[in-house]
Chains A and B, each alone.
Chain A
Amino acid sequence: MPSETAPAPTASRHIEADAARLRREVPALSSVIDCFVPVLAAQAGVREEAPGWTGPLPARDEARLCAGEFLLSGSGFQDIAPCLPLAAARILPVMAASFPALARQLTALQAALRGPDAPLAAVAAAAFSPDRAAVPGVSPEVLGFAARQMAKPLLERQARDLAPLVQDIPWRRTFCPVCGDAPAFTRMLRVQDEAEYITGHGGHRFLRCATCETEWRYKRISCPKCGNEEPARLSVMHAEGRPFERLDVCEACNTYCLCLDCAEFIAIPDPAIAALAMLPLEMRAREQGYAPLVAQPWSASLERPAA
């Protein structure tokens, strides 16, 4: 795992500052930034406020981890339902302002979560299986979307507490060592070490979990979906003038994954803002028939490639 310090309480400001820079650099993304950055900032605030993993940490079984069994494979995350009122109060009003077409349903959901018989368990379940939950006045699609946005920072906060348990495990899998989900984003990071030999300029490649944002090191030349390592069937797409943002494309499984090459950066941009900046690249990849390894909230509705 990269040795980054835990996010400071200024995480929301960091996101907004990176978004302001992106807006200056790519004005065409302004409308998407206006929609999603307030939500991302609200999520960062919830991540700071949330209690995280409560009680004793799960037992760490190194043998099972080394054999490829992720940490929460037998138990899953702790129930997020008790924290949903906090997340709803912070995130749903922001979402309602960002997505006016959904405002009525989001307001209804917020009202439902405030009541004495709040369907907390149902909404928590909707984050993972939207079709199995129902809240009056809220469509399954909107419920799933809103529930995922509320659940994400709560799960990330739990995962942050669990990260030390997998920190020094030589995990080189394509799924998260904490929760087992797929990566939605990758980064090339230069990691400072005390080695007295020449180190590569490109840094190590880290995959970032779509659900809990845990990061783990992975091979640089290997598809994080199918494991293809044939150089001739792995390629990179990037936009002119922004070589540090790229899509790693696998011709073997027709999948792409977002990658931010941080080797040249002074300050590492927030991963969510970096992912948002790659929306034009994602559109190009979809047009060429590639599918995302995991869709981002802003790219989920892009046209799916023909089967």
Chain B
Amino acid sequence: MPKAFLIDTTRCTACRGCQVACKEWKNLPPVPTRQTGTHQNPPDLNPFNFKLVRFSEHMDKNGVVSWYFFPDQCRHCLAAPCKMASSDPAAILQDEATGAVLFTDLTAKEDFETIRGACPYDIPRQDPASKRLVKCDMCIDRVRANMLPMCVKSCAMGAMNFGERDEMLKLAAARLAAVKKTSPKAQLLNSDDVAVIFLVADDPLKYHKNAMAEAIQPMTRKQFMAKAISPLRRIGGQTVG
């Protein structure tokens, strides 16, 4: 049974419990960072932060400033463009039971920019040491053991939800209807295409420039060409090496 997240940003207080819990469960090392005038920290996803609560401030016409929180992560697309863009079918897998999109060690041989460019949400990052591509794996070890992903377990506000896809879609529809009463612009982001469904109360661009995919294209022309020549590139690499 495919699984899904519902991330209800209207309930998120940006405590970053999910961000820290992800890092702890994955035993990811600390990342040097500095104050840049925002509570968003680190500034972006990186090879050691697969989950990031993005902060955005917007002032309305009355001078009232609103804070928007967006717990960004891999969307585990139902038809994953990163998987389509990979040259080796074994490099990026989609777990049949859960729908999780999983990067394997073989991603180290993939062209990082091609895979990253294929993602409409700009999620993949590359480990500088191993050259492996990395991102959220839905806590597949936990999910296979019937345990909630760490980010969901750690959420004290009920913003993060996880379960069977049909149940999450029902919950999403119910929450959307409730939120719309006070926020008419509320919407679910790409709910037909992804396994990580965000509920936002306002224009998605106010949350994050990649909060929503305009339209998920299976492959851009550039990615298609990159994929087409990747076997040649690898042969060339072997010859040179």
Residues of A within 8 A of B (CB): 21, 192-193, 195-196, 198-201, 263-267, 269
Contacts and interface: CB of A to CB of B under 8 A. Distances in A.
Interface string B1-19: 0010000000101000000
B153 interface: yes
Q: Is the interface of B mostly helix, strand, loop or mixed?
A: mixed
A266 B157 contact: no
A265 B147 contact: yes
Given A201-B156, A265-B146, A266-B143, 6 more contacts: A198-B156, A199-B158, A264-B148, A265-B147, A266-B146, A266-B163
B148 A266 contact: yes
A199 B156 contact: yes
The interface centre, meaning the residue of B143, B146, B148 with most chain A CB atoms within 10 A of its CB, is B146
B162 interface: yes
B156 A267 contact: no
Contacts, number: 32
Interface residues of B, number: 15
B28 to A, nearest CB: 20
Contacts of B143: 266
Contacts of B162: 266
Nearest to A268: B146
Interface of B: 3, 11, 13, 142-143, 146-148, 153-154, 156-158, 162-163
Contacts of B153: 201, 263-264
Contacts of B154: 201
Contacts of A195: 158
B183 to A, nearest CB: 14
A214 B112 CA distance: 56
Contacts of A267: 146
Contacts of A269: 146
Nearest to A193: B158
A185 B92 CA distance: 44
Which 3 A/B pairs are nearest by Cβ-Cβ distance? A198-B156, A264-B147, A266-B146
Contacts of B13: 198
The interface centre, meaning the residue of A198, A200, A267 with most chain B CB atoms within 10 A of its CB, is A198
A304 to B, nearest CB: 34
Contacts of A196: 11
A288 to B, nearest CB: 29
